């Protein structure tokens, strides 16, 4: 075998080795990117679930405050009020009671 042919074979083996190395590195990069994307998606799902819980808690807090105010209003003694005030409170109480019965 001649020198040129030997050098050519060495170059070809070297090129093949480089190609295999690059392919290996590319595969590793793809795996790392996939893992990074999976972790990102996982964090997003956790953040979304926490946000939903926060919204639910805010809604419950709002409902509790509203119920407390409505209960206070329902227990209001209207006997010492004027006729107009009594009518107003009667209408408000009826609205509250009808809303509550519709929710049940």
pLDDT at 50 over 80: yes
CA dihedral 46, 51, 53, 55 (to 10 degrees): -170
- Alpha-helical regions (H) of 2-103: 3-74, 83-103
pLDDT tens across 59-72, in order? Answer: 999 999 999 999 99
d(Cα 41, Cα 76) in Å, to the nearest integer? 53
pLDDT of res. 10: 74
Q: Which two tokens stand for residue 72?
A: 């206070």
Mean pLDDT score of the chain, rounded to an integer? 91
């Amino acid at each position: 075998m001649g020198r040129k042919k030997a050098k050519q074979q060495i170059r070809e083996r070297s090129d093949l080795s480089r190609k295999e190395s690059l392919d290996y590195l590319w595969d590793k990069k793809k795996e790392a990117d996939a893992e990074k994307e999976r972790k990102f998606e996982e964090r997003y799902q956790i953040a979304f679930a926490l946000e939903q819980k926060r919204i639910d808690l805010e809604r419950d807090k709002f409902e509790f405050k509203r119920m407390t105010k409505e209960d206070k209003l329902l227990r209001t003694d209207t006997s010492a009020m004027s006729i107009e005030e009594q009518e107003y409170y009667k209408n408000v109480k009826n609205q509250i009671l009808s809303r509550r019965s519709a929710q049940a």
